[in-house]
Amino acid sequence: MKIVEHHLVQLAAVIETGGVTEAAAMLGMTQSAVSRTLSILEKRIGEPLFVSGRRPMQPTALGEQLGQQGKSILSSSRKAMEIIRSFKSGSSGRVRIGGVPFFMDAVVSPMIASFQRSEPGIMVHQSYGNYSDLVAELDSGQIDLAVTPTGSVDLSAAHHFEPILPARNVLACGAGHPLVRKRSLATEDIVNYPWVAPLPGSPLVLDLHNILLTLGLAEVSVRYAGGSLLSVMNYLAGTDALTILPLSVAYAFRGESKISIIPLDIPQPERALGIMTRKKPYSNPAGRKFLGHLRREFAELRHVIEKYERTFRWAHGPFMADRDRAASPW
């Protein structure tokens, strides 16, 4: 004997509402169609499903048990419809975002938190990678969008790149570093201190090389490498080491009194930091909502970082002139 599932749903609706007319209205069916379903069920089972002559309609013991199964199906169907409505409205779902490690930890993760305060039904999965890794993950559908620095020559025809911040780098050190107290800085001052190396594969590696060329240096003493952003911050705070960081990352730590910026106007990369997506993305309303949130957050961040940058008196060339240290909020 085979029981059709939607017949059980109609049975559950009759039990829930107490009548065929009411059940038909709830299900968007005709009364005759629901009555026909009950008749088919009783004939197929060979047992009555409702007590004769009772109003509202009262199920028999067998009818009650079968109605519970129909109620489960009806509940699942309603839940499925709610999931579909929620997905299409962008109120639920999943967003997978990848990006360069330091920037994701310092800048993007707080943006994810602020997004989920207003959209708690959306799950965000964050991963890390450099440009080539992120391109591969976009192409294979492992992530929905990437936050990465890149130059125009690197862009693929299959991707859309939306610049959000200039790729501005700064020299950083611990808050109590001796160079913070110096009124002028010479090239040898940089050589005399150890360095934290950028992460392997990071564009900061090339940026550091360009800085050394500009300053006429062959190399610097690298004392620490491979750490996470938090470990690098803690290392700088406890040593006299120097490093190169994106200005946006240094800005994110401005209130923690761990690191300082050395306002030497170092060579800047010819690239931008932006959001990269596939030109033909999969349908993901939650992803589109999250992308809109990132655009608004980065527009505000760009404004405040530009304002913050103007608080420094940037020295040019391999030597720093006297600077007004009081202008620095570090």
**pLDDT score, position 219:** 81
Phi, psi for residue 201 in degrees, rounded to 5: 85, -10
- Give the C-alpha separation, 120 to 118, whole Å: 6
pLDDT for the residue numbered 319: 42
- Start-to-end Cα distance in the chain: 79
The per-residue pLDDT for 65 is 95
Domains of the chain: 5-89 (1.10.10.10), 93-167+271-308 (3.40.190.10), 169-269+311-327 (3.40.190.10)
Summarised one tens digit per residue, pLDDT across range 109-137 is: 999 999 999 999 999 999 999 999 999 99
Buried-state track 297-319, b at ≥16 Cβ within 10 A, e below 16: bbeebbeebeebbeebeebeebe
Residues in the chain: 330
Mean pLDDT of 54-80: 92
Q: Which residue has the higher pLDDT, 245 or 220?
A: 245
In Å, what is the CA distance from 121 to each residue of 67, 89, 104, 112, 304?
A: 32, 11, 22, 13, 30
pLDDT in tens, 192-232: 899 999 998 888 888 888 888 887 777 888 999 999 999 99
Average pLDDT over residues 11-35: 94
